[in-house]
Amino acid sequence: MELYSGHINRLIEELAALPGIGSKSAQRLAFHLINMPQDRVNRLANTIIDAKANVKYCKECFTLTDSEVCPICANQKRNHNLIMVVENTRDMTAYEKTGKYEGVYHVLHGAISPMLGIGPNDIKLKELMVRLKDDVEEVIIATNSSLEGETTAMYISKLIKPTGVKITRIASGVPVGGDLEYIDEVTLLRALEGRVEL
């Protein structure tokens, strides 16, 4: 049974295909969009098209940016011999927000996942190896602490080891302000294994 008219149904289908938007939210969004003033609808549609057309990979680190080289890679004050490997641009931004990291990044755009059929060639790994030819001192692996993130970290570490470049992995443990009572066992064990001397 077609519940709504053709144009509304097509809009709901398009919206429901986006990540994190279920069928109920898609209906709500569709009616919101239809009720929005014409200029705001045009602006939204054009912003989507413009972003798709103008955002590209940084030639150096492969983050998504408007320019050929992203502002971080273009900044000569950053340490270009220190590369932090992250899964995506959002993770890179999370570290940038700390304001304490002085090096540059390398964005993989994914993580190795045999479950989802994502192999080493599906992420920007070859591109990372190419960058190692320069005077890189250390590669910090900051993939997520998930199964895929850990698999990717192990894979990269094995790949880089023979080149002699120093490789490190960000620490895994109890989050700051975390109450031990509410933290899962795997994290607690990880925090124990990774304990540091005071």
- Beta-strand ranges (E) seen in 128-179 are 138-141, 166-169
Amino acid making up residue 141: I
Q: In the complex with its own copies, which residue's Cβ is closer, 12 or 112?
A: 12
What DSSP designation does 113 have? B
- 48/171 with CB nearer its own copies: 48
Closest contact distance (angstroms) between CB of 70 and its own copies is: 8
Looking at residue 112, the DSSP 8-state letter turns out to be: -
Q: Name which of 67 and 168 has its Cβ closer to its own copies.
A: 67
CB of 94 to its own copies, least distance (A): 9
Q: What is the nearest approach in angstroms of its own copies to the Cβ of residue 31?
A: 6
Nearest distance from C-beta of residue 178 to its own copies, angstroms: 20
Q: Give me the least distance between CB of 155 and its own copies, in Å please.
A: 22
Q: What residue ranges bind its own copies (CB under 8 A)?
A: 1, 3-8, 10-11, 14, 18-21, 25, 27-36, 38, 41-52, 54-55, 64-67, 70-71, 88-90, 93, 96-97, 109
| Burial class, 114, CB count within 10 angstroms (exposed 0-12 / middle 13-18 / buried 19+) | exposed
Q: What residues form DSSP beta bridges with 169?
A: 141
Q: Which is nearer to its own copies, 99 or 177 (CB)?
A: 99
| Beta strand spans in the chain (E) | 56-57, 64-65, 79-86, 103-107, 138-141, 166-169
What span, in angstroms and rounded, lies between the C-alpha atoms of 153 and 170?
A: 10
Task: Please give the structure tokens belonging to residue 110.
Answer: 């994914």
For residue 67, count other CB atoms closer than 10 A to its CB: 13
Cβ nearer to its own copies, comparing 49 with 192: 49
Q: Taking the complex as a whole, how short is the minimal distance between the CB of residue 137 and its own copies, in angstroms?
A: 27
Residue 70: CB atoms within 10 Å? 24
CB nearer its own copies, residue 39 or residue 135: 39
